[in-house]
C-alpha cells in the first residue's frame, strides 16, 4: 500500500460512549438557549447601570420579550440542571470521576512536572473541579430568582436582590469560559479528532 492510498484511508475517531455524547449535546443546546433567553431578561432591566445600562443586540436574544425570555430561560434551566444531575450520576456510577477531578498529584504536576501531556491532564482535571461550585452557584442563584417567595431562605443567603442578580450574571461567563478552555485542552490532548468524537 503506497502513501497516497494510506492517506486516503478514513481516520477512525476516538470512541465515545453514547451517553457521554448525549450529555454534551444536551448541555450545549440548553446552555445556548439559557444564554439567549437570559440576555433577553437582562435587557428588560440590566444588572449594571439600571434601565439605562448597556443592552445586548437583538440577534443574541431569545424569547422576543420579557415574558417569552423568562419562559425559555426557565424551561432550558430545568433541562440543563437535570442533565447535569444525570451526568453526575453517570460519572459516579461509571467511576469516571476518578479521572475527571483534581487530586493533590495534579497540583504537584503543575508545579514540578516537565511532562507537557501530564500538565495538560492536570489542568483539565483542575477546571473540571473548579466548575462544580460555579455551576452550583449559578443554579442556586437562578432558583432563588425563579421562586423568591418559596425559596426565600436561599435568596437571603445572597443578601439583597441586586447581589443575587449580579452573582447569577457573573457565573454565566464563567461557564462559557469553562466550555472554551475545556475544548482547547481537548484539542491539545487529542486534536480535532477527539472533539469531533463527541459530536459524531
**Cα dist. 133→11, 21, 80, 123, 171 in Å?**
38, 23, 16, 17, 10
pTM for the complete prediction?
A: 0.75
Q: What is the pLDDT of residue 12?
A: 54
Angstrom distances, CA of residue 184 to CA of 11, 105, 120, 190, 199: 21, 22, 10, 10, 16
Cα–Cα distance, 169 to 187 (Å, whole number): 28
pLDDT in tens, 121-166: 788 788 888 888 998 999 899 999 888 889 999 999 999 998 998 9
At CA 96, angle to CA 95 and CA 102, rounded to 5? 115
Cell numbers representing residue 182 in the block: 475545556
CA 61, chain centre distance (Å): 19
On whether the CB atoms of residues 63 and 71 are closer than 8 A, the answer is yes
More confident residue, 194 or 46: 46
Query: pLDDT of 15-50, one tens digit each?
Result: 566 777 788 889 889 999 999 999 999 888 888 776
Distance CA 106, CA 120 (A): 10
Question: What gap in Å lies between CA 124 and CA 181, rounded to an integer?
Answer: 8
Q: CA-to-CA distance for 165 and 174, rounded, in angstroms?
A: 15
The C-alpha atoms of residue 17 and residue 21 are separated, in whole angstroms, by: 6
Mean pLDDT of 173-184: 84
Amino acid at each position: 500500500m503506497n502513501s497516497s492510498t494510506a492517506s486516503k484511508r478514513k481516520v477512525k475517531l476516538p470512541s465515545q460512549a453514547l451517553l457521554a455524547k448525549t450529555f454534551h449535546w444536551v448541555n450545549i443546546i440548553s446552555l445556548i438557549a439559557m444564554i439567549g433567553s437570559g440576555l433577553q431578561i437582562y435587557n428588560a432591566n440590566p444588572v449594571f447601570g439600571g434601565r439605562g445600562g448597556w443592552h445586548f443586540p437583538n440577534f443574541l436574544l431569545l424569547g422576543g420579550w420579557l415574558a417569552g425570555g423568562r419562559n425559555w430561560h426557565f424551561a432550558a434551566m430545568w433541562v440543563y440542571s437535570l442533565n447535569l444531575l444525570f451526568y453526575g450520576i453517570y460519572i459516579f456510577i461509571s467511576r469516571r470521576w476518578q479521572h475527571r477531578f483534581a487530586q493533590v498529584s495534579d497540583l504537584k504536576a503543575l508545579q514540578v512536572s516537565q511532562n507537557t501531556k501530564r500538565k495538560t491532564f492536570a489542568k483539565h482535571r483542575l477546571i473540571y473541579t473548579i466548575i462544580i461550585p460555579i455551576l452550583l452557584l449559578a443554579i442556586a442563584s437562578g432558583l432563588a430568582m425563579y421562586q423568591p417567595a418559596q425559596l426565600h431562605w436561599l435568596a437571603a443567603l445572597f443578601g439583597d436582590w441586586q447581589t443575587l442578580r449580579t452573582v447569577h450574571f457573573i457565573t454565566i461567563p464563567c461557564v462559557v469560559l469553562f466550555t472554551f478552555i475545556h475544548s482547547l485542552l481537548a484539542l491539545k490532548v487529542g486534536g480535532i479528532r477527539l472533539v469531533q468524537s463527541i459530536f459524531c
